[in-house]
Amino acid sequence: MIALVLSMLAARKAQAVAVLLLSVFAVGAAVAGPVYLDAVDRAVAGTEVAEADRVERTISLSAFVGPEETVDIEGFDSVIPRALDVEGFDQVYSAQFAVLGVEPDPDISWLTFRSDVCPHLRIVAGRCLMSAGETVLGEQTARRLGLAPGAGLTVQAARYSEEARRYLPAGSPTPLTVVGFYRPLDTAEVYWGRTGWFALGTRDSDREPMFVNRQTVDATEHLQDYRTVEAVPGLGALDADHLDQVRFDLADMRDELLGGTGSSGFFAQVAIDLDGLLDRVDQAQTVARRVVPVAAVPLVGLCWFVIFLAVAYGTTGRRHELGLVALRGARRPVRWWLTAGESTLAILAGAPIGYVAGTAAVWLVARVRFDGGAELSGAALPYAGIALGGALLAGLLAQRQQLASPVADLLRRVPARQGTWRSTAVEATVVVLTVVAVFQLRGFEGELVGLSLLVPSLVAVAFALIAARLLMPLAARVGGRALRRGRLGIALGALQLARRPGSHRLFVLLAVAVALLGFAAVGVDVAGRARAERAAVETGADRVLSVLPVDAARLLTAVREVDPEGRYAMAVAVLPPATVNDPPVLAADTTRLDRVATWRPEFGTAPARVSALLRPATPEPYVLRGERITALVDTPPHDGGQLRIAVTLRPLDGGQPVRVSFSVLTAGVHTYAGTADGCAAGCRLLGIEAVYARTGPHDADVVVRELRDPDSGRVLVPAADFAAAGGWRGSADGKVRATAGGLAITTTSGGAADTWALPADVPVPLPVVAAGRLRESTKLTGLDAERPRFEVVDQVTTLPRLGGRGALADLEYAERAALGSTRLSGAQVWLSPDAPADVTARLAERGLVVSADQTTARARAMLDRRAPALAIWFHLLAAGFAVLLALGGLALMAAVDRRRRTEDMRALRHQGMPLRVVGRAGLWTYLPVVTAALVTGAVAAGVAWWLAGDYLPFFVDDAIVLELPSWPSPSAVLWPAVLAAVGFATAAVGVAAALRWSVGASRVRD
């Protein structure tokens, strides 16, 4: 029996090869989904880890150790390294303390040991450490101090004194030899862990540590030092295969350190930010697992359907052969084996090839699309088994009708119409499932999970089935009318289409393939445009330059000098949130907001209006252009103590405030003089401070009548301005008031806060525009350590750079409101697309050093590497597979049908039918199916997108609230439509040409 089946396979090689290839497709498609997901998981983990900074990837345990601390060195060394045990992570040990003797007194340096530091330094002069008593200095430090390799230094441990407010010696002197100067190889390298060294914008970014070995640290006398053990990920420690183990080790470490099982939890400071990174990876992978199955599941189902069609068509072509076998009295098992053996063996033979081919195809796509990879492993075997089982079942179901048919029906040339009620029931079930899935998606779940996962494919199948029900009767009517009018070619083709049992199945196959291609093309285009729009909003402007820490006024002045007309450049500062629960603040030169920033209409208020709200009209600042200042003060008698006033100014070009404190005030009207160093180029008046030094709470009054520049004789603040109502405000209610004699200030002694009188050149509270609703308890960050009062003057849905949560303030007004340091660690310059190419050089000429250059295009490329973009691209890959399957199914059915059609057409040729009618009949058999399938598939794709498109996740998070595009651009749907139309039409014309050639060749032989 096996030999007979093998001989049957040999006799019908083409059909056997076709079924084998379809089995390869089915198993390969089933494997492709999970293998592609695995490749995306790896790529996503790599992307998230690569974009995380070294602080987030580092686990740190640290403590102050020393004789005066609760922890000694031996205890630290014995407990902490053992507790910090995470698989794949390397431990880096550090110890550091402050020393005097290197920088000019009273500045300090940091004597630092860090294990295995030399491989991470580029020695620019001399050599690296080799023995005790040696040190290497940073290149900038050595240049500033004028040192050379071989120079000697004497250092002394230092300790900060609260009383003296400076570092004082706290140990005996230790001689050191400078053996080399270094430059870090890579400041972003994970080896540097959570340290602030070399990290832009941090407290220690401009402090280059003095590196020494462990023996030097231990030999230098000091009272305490700061010890740290950091676990930093080694190569591959945070790839997709090891993340679960890292989570397990982190949980185990927390139990030991913080759960009471280990004493280290009582003295060590644990710093772990790795959980946020792991959560982002999990979230991204979850998104991918929601998107890929939307295309993978229907693709496998389509493969089964094609196998069903191929086997059914092949079995139909063998009806006469099967009828003869049954006529000879063969038992049902023998008939079953002869009928199913060919397809079963072909399907089984294709399964292992499909497994390897599917994995290889995904590997190739992953390498090309996102530089990923796929492995040939047993992880996808269950999916391959399901695909193989489904393919075998589809093959058996396709032959069920022929096995159950009586001999008389099998010997008929045209099959009897049977099973109409069965097909109707199946089609009705599919339509009902489609309605249920859509109702579940849009009415309850709101996510593509469970049955709603199949909404796009179910909609496509339902539309195809309904259209097929209309197409077949329509074809019969067209054929009958054409026959009555003598149009024989059209009549033969249309009637063949109406009477062949597989025609409506072929139509469903083609229509579903077109619908899947259309849905994929729409999804890829809309998702790509959404990423482009989000990238523009996340960046904030077409191009964003990050600059090294700089004073706010210096940043404003430099940018305005480079672009005096405000056409293409805007100074910006991103201020971090006050607490983890508070939003960040974007401080920008809002006079240029409408010309530089990316501002979309759906944000809310127009940028010009936002600028007007954030910059209400205020008096011009008082500016001193000289280095001396005098104050005319009327001091009423007060009961003891010392009463003073001080004037605080800030240089116009940025820098620390200049505080001018006058001598002790005496009763009566007197003029007091003070020196304002650094104000020759101009300083803006920040405020006047009244200080009353006396034991216990007592009030004292002072009236300021005038401030003057004695060198030029110009009055800085005239008496009329001091006496004007509303011209000044106080830092405390009721403490500052305008009087006819001047500005009266009441201050209280005894530890209470000093009273400030502030000019009205800045609005109070400071106006902000908020994205999202701010709580009453929300605290917004100012430029200095103080937190000025804010007032929300408008609310928008989204802000550039910040997204849906944050606040926008005017940078100039925020700088005016700050009384302390206005040095910015998050300084930026935003540029519009028409910014000149040499803008970076122009900014550098004015003292701004660019540390990073981000563009919208780079931000878009970064989003293209994230999980949603990679996952949705699989839809296009699956749609391509579907189109190939449809073309293969069309060719296979035409090939099986050609023999019988050739016999029919040859008989008609003997009766005188022209050869051109043969070609026309073949064309009208398949071209209407193709045309109707293209139209039906396009409509089904549009409806499927309308129903389910909004639920495809384009991003991992919703931090940026945008009105994203809902429909594709015309070109995005044009190219797949043209591709499908050309492919299917070419196949239909080719089938007709093949039929015409076969009939013509047989005529010649006759």
Q: What is the 3-state secondary structure (H, E, C) of 220-270?
A: CCCCCEEEEEEEEECCCCCCCCCHHHHHHHHHHHHHHHHCCCCHHHHCCEE
17-21, 400-404, 461-465, 661-665, range with the lowest pLDDT? 400-404
What digits encode the pLDDT tens for the residues 32-46?
Answer: 888 888 888 888 888
Amino acid at 59: I
Lowest mean pLDDT of 228-232, 741-745, 914-918, name the range. Answer: 914-918
Average pLDDT in the 951-975 region?
A: 80
pLDDT of residue 888 exceeding 70, the answer is: yes
Q: For the segment 198-213, what is each residue's pLDDT rounded down to a tens digit? A: 755 444 445 689 999 9
Amino acid in position 400: R
pLDDT at residue 857, as a whole number: 92
Sorted by sequence, the CB contacts under 8 Å of residue 813 that are 6+ apart come out as 614, 615, 618, 762, 763, 766, 767
Chain segment 266-315, per-residue pLDDT in tens: 466 777 888 888 888 888 888 888 888 888 888 888 888 877 777 776 66
pLDDT class for 905, splitting at 50, 70, 90? low
Structural contact between residues 460 and 510, judged by C-beta atoms closer than 8 angstroms? no
- Which H or E run contains 562? helix 552-562
Q: Find where tokens 């014309």 sit.
A: 989
Q: How far apart are CA 1004 and CA 351, in angstroms?
A: 43
In the predicted model, is pLDDT for residue 389 greater than 60?
yes
Distance from C-alpha of 222 to C-alpha of 493, rounded to nearest angstrom: 100
Q: Is the dihedral of CA 832, 837, 840, 846 positive or negative?
A: negative
Compute the distance between CA of residue 494 and CA of residue 475 in angstroms, rounded to an integer.
5
| pTM assigned to the model | 0.79
Contact between 729 and 783 under an 8 Å Cβ cutoff? The reply is no
Give the residue from 116, 92, 93, 111 showing the smallest Cα distance to 211: 111
Tell me the three-class secondary structure of 504-558, residue by residue.
HHHHHHHHHHHHHHHHHHHHHHHHHHHHHHHHHHHHCECEEEEECCEEHHHHHHH
Read off φ and ψ for residue 19, nearest 5 degrees: -65, -40
Q: What's residue 191's pLDDT?
A: 92
Out of 59-63, 430-434, 445-449, which region has the weakest mean confidence (pLDDT)?
445-449
Exposure string for 256-284, b = 16+ CB within 10 A, e = fewer: bbeeeebebbebbebbbebeebbebbeeb
- The pLDDT of residue 260 is 43
Contact 113, 95 (CB under 8 A): yes
Q: Which of 782, 206, 254, 879 is nearest to 515 (CA)?
A: 879
Per-residue confidence (pLDDT) for residue 476, from 0 to 100? 63
What is the DSSP code (8-state) at residue 662?
P
Asked if 850 and 843 count as a contact pair (C-beta separation under 8 A), the reply is yes
Chain Cα centroid distance, residue 914: 65
Report whether pLDDT(610) > 90: yes
- Contact residues for 505 (Cβ-Cβ < 8 A; gap 6+): 305, 308, 309, 312, 468
Whole-number percent of the chain with pLDDT over 70: 79
With a cut of 90, say whether residue 592 has pLDDT above it. Answer: yes
Residue-level pLDDT at 803: 85
Contact (Cβ atoms closer than 8 angstroms) between residue 293 and residue 40: no
Per-residue model confidence (pLDDT) at position 575: 87
Range with lowest mean pLDDT among 282-286, 371-375, 740-744, 948-952: 371-375
- Model confidence over 801-836: pLDDT tens digits? 988 888 999 999 998 888 888 888 889 999 999 999
pLDDT of residue 831: 96
Structure confidence at residue 752 (pLDDT): 55
Q: Which amino acid is at 289?
A: R
Query: Is residue 402 predicted with pLDDT exceeding 70?
Result: no
* CA quadruple 779, 785, 789, 792: dihedral sign: negative
The distance from CA 318 to its chain's CA centroid, rounded to whole angstroms, is: 57
Identify the pLDDT of residue 726. Answer: 81
Which of 47-56, 462-471, 921-930 is predicted with the least confidence, judged by mean pLDDT?
921-930
Residue of 955 and 897 predicted with greater confidence: 955
**At residue 777, does pLDDT exceed 60?**
yes
Mean pLDDT to the nearest integer, 621-629: 92
Element (H, E) at 330: none
Instruction: For residue 558, give both structure tokens.
Output: 């430099």
Contact criterion met (CB below 8 Å) for 628 and 642: no
Q: Look at residue 724 in the predicted model and tell me its pLDDT.
A: 87
Q: Which residue has the higher pLDDT, 331 or 844?
A: 844
The beta strands (E) that lie in 838-932 are given as 850-855
Q: Judge whether 99 and 156 are in contact, CB under 8 Å.
A: yes
Q: What is the pLDDT of residue 200?
A: 53
pLDDT at 852: 86
Task: Say whether pLDDT at 668 is over 50.
Answer: yes
Bigger pLDDT: 7 or 452?
Answer: 452
d(CA 416, CA 539): 67
Phi/psi at 979 (nearest 5 deg)? Answer: -60, -50
Question: For position 323, what pLDDT does the model report?
Answer: 56
Choice between 960 and 154, residue whose per-residue pLDDT is larger = 154
What's the pLDDT tens digit per position in 211-220? 999 999 988 9
Torsion of CA 286, 292, 294, 298, to 10 degrees: -140
Residue 894, judged by CB atoms within 10 A of its CB (0-12, 13-18, 19+), counts as buried
Helix orientation angle between 243-258 and 274-317, rounded to the nearest 10 degrees? 150
Has residue 568 got a pLDDT over 90? Answer: yes
- Please tell me the distance from the alpha carbon of residue 492 to that of residue 994, in angstroms, as a whole number: 16
Please name the residues in contact with 306: beta carbons below 8 A apart, sequence gap of 6 or more: 22, 25, 509, 885, 886, 888, 889
Q: What is the pLDDT of residues 240-276, one digit of tens each?
A: 888 888 888 888 887 777 654 333 444 667 778 888 8
CA angle 424, 427, 431 (to 5 degrees): 135
In the chain, the percentage of residues whose pLDDT exceeds 90 is 21
Instruction: Tell me the three state secondary structure of residue 212.
Output: strand
For the cut 90, the answer to whether the pLDDT of residue 369 exceeds it is: no
